[in-house]
């Protein structure tokens, strides 16, 4: 059914004029001129073919028809206002679904969620840890944190933090007879490997340790497992800044050497351009960036033997 609707501005002018019984005060509320309100009301009366106000002794008096119509208009405007407010609240509160890798969730995100929930109880945060890249058009996901080179065409992409690769171990390995005084000393301990042993081979070559074959130590397929094994004192690991930050700051891990290599691939905050400006998404983005910046400051203070 085709709706016959008068202009919204005319209805707003009529409702305000009827409530104040004055074009002047209605104009002040609506931030327009008195003439503009009068013109809107006259246009509405002409379209409806009904007189809504009488002008009596410089007073504005609503007619019986106007009073009946006012009830309808006021109810409609109230409904629009309530619906708009609810919509805006949903944009800044409610469910926020975040997709991230299992490693990032386990070693970076979950330790901090209590702080976010305490600061923003209006947001119902849902974390989905998965390895596949999100299809925002098909999946009910608002935002993702992914590791890569930042090349996600058609999406809003923000780098979480720069990353380096360096050796880490439990503080327990820095005591006793077999101390880590120089890079070659790592060969006295089990080495923890991610996927294969190539990373340790490259690290030893870069550190000037010739003719070394880092064959000892287990090979694990998750970076979070490698770091947890290092925390447990099972050996020395090579770790990325983001994933090792929590354990370095808490003192469960230390960096025995200052050597580090800069990585081109790092973690990025990814979301569709169409929704990147939603308040709840912007809020979570800002929180992620603030947490990462705080990590960077804390790691800088720890110095090369720890950070």
pLDDT tens column, 192-212: 999 888 888 888 888 888 767
Task: Say what the pLDDT of residue 59 is.
Answer: 82
pLDDT level of residue 247 (50, 70, 90 thresholds): very high
Domain boundaries, the chain: 8-91, 95-159+265-295, 164-262
Task: Say what the pLDDT of residue 83 is.
Answer: 64
Topology agreement, domain 95-159+265-295 and domain 164-262 = yes
Task: Say what the pLDDT of residue 127 is.
Answer: 94
Q: Which of 113, 251, 272, 54 is nearest to 169 (CA)?
A: 251
Q: Encode 34-69: b = buried (16+ Cβ within 10 Å), e = exposed.
A: eebbbebbebbbeeeeeebbeeeeeebebeeebeeb
pLDDT tens column, 209-228: 876 777 788 999 999 999 99
User: How many alpha carbons lie under 13 Å from residue 29 in its C-beta half-sphere?
Assistant: 17
The verdict on domain 95-159+265-295 having CATH code 3.40.1160.10 is no
Task: Say what the pLDDT of residue 1 is.
Answer: 58
Who's near 93: CB < 8 A, 6+ residues apart? 122, 123, 280
Task: Say what the pLDDT of residue 88 is.
Answer: 55
pLDDT value at 231 more than 70? yes
- Range with the poorest average pLDDT among 73-77, 144-148, 190-194: 73-77
Task: Say what the pLDDT of residue 304 is.
Answer: 58
- The overall average pLDDT reported for the chain is 87
- Residues of the chain above pLDDT 70, percent: 93
DSSP line for 38-106: HHHHHHHHHHHTS--EEEETTEEEE-HHHHHHHHHHHHHHHHHHHHHHHHHHHHHSEEEEEEE-HHHII
3-state secondary structure of 25: helix
Residue 155: strand pairing partners: 272
Q: Which of 8, 115, 21, 29 is nearest to 61 (CA)?
A: 21
pLDDT value at 301 more than 60? yes
Q: Which of 95, 102, 73 is nearest to 7 (CA)?
A: 73
Cα torsion 196, 200, 203, 205: sign: negative
Residue whose structure tokens are 């800069």: 262
For residue 293, the tally of other CB atoms under 10 A from its CB is 12
pLDDT level of residue 92 (50, 70, 90 thresholds): very low
pLDDT tens column, 15-71: 998 898 898 899 999 999 999 999 999 999 899 898 999 988 778 889 999 899 988
Greater confidence (106 vs 82) lies with 106
- Across residues 121-150, what is the average pLDDT? 89
Beta-strand (E) ranges in 93-203?
A: 94-100, 123-129, 143-148, 155-159, 163-168, 191-194
The verdict on domain 8-91 having CATH code 3.40.190.10 is no
Task: Say what the pLDDT of residue 306 is.
Answer: 42
Domain boundaries 164-262, corresponding CATH code: 3.40.190.10
What's phi and psi for 198, nearest 5 deg? -70, -35
pLDDT value at 168 more than 90? yes
């Amino acid at each position: 059914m085709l709706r016959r609707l008068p202009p919204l501005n005319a209805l707003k002018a009529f409702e305000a004029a009827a409530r104040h019984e004055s074009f002047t005060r209605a104009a002040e509320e609506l931030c327009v001129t008195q003439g503009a309100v009068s013109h809107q009301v006259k246009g509405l009366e002409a379209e409806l073919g009904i007189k809504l106000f009488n002008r009596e002794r410089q007073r504005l008096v609503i007619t019986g028809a106007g009073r009946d119509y006012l009830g309808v208009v006021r109810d409609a405007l109230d409904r629009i206002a309530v619906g708009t407010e609810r919509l805006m609240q949903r944009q800044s509160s409610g469910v926020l679904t975040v997709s991230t890798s299992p490693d990032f969730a386990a070693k970076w995100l979950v330790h901090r969620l209590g702080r976010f929930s305490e600061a923003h109880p209006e947001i119902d945060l849902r974390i989905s840890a998965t390895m596949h890249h999100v299809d925002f058009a098909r999946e009910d996901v608002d935002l993702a944190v992914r590791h890569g080179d930042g090349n996600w065409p058609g999406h809003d992409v923000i780098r979480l933090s720069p990353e380096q690769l360096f050796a880490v171990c439990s503080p327990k390995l820095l005591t006793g007879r077999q101390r880590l005084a120089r890079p070659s000393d790592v060969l006295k301990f089990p080495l923890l490997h991610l996927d294969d042993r190539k990373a340790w081979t490259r690290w030893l070559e870069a550190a000037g340790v010739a003719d070394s074959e880092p064959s000892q130590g287990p090979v694990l397929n998750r970076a979070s497992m490698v770091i947890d094994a290092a925390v447990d004192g099972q050996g020395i690991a090579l770790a990325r800044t983001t994933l090792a930050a929590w354990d370095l700051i808490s003192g469960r891990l230390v960096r025995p050497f200052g050597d580090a290599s800069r990585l081109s691939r790092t973690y990025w905050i990814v979301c569709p351009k169409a929704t990147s400006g939603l308040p709840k998404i912007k809020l979570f983005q800002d929180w992620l960036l603030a947490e990462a910046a705080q990590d960077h400051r804390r790691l800088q203070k720890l110095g090369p033997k720890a950070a």
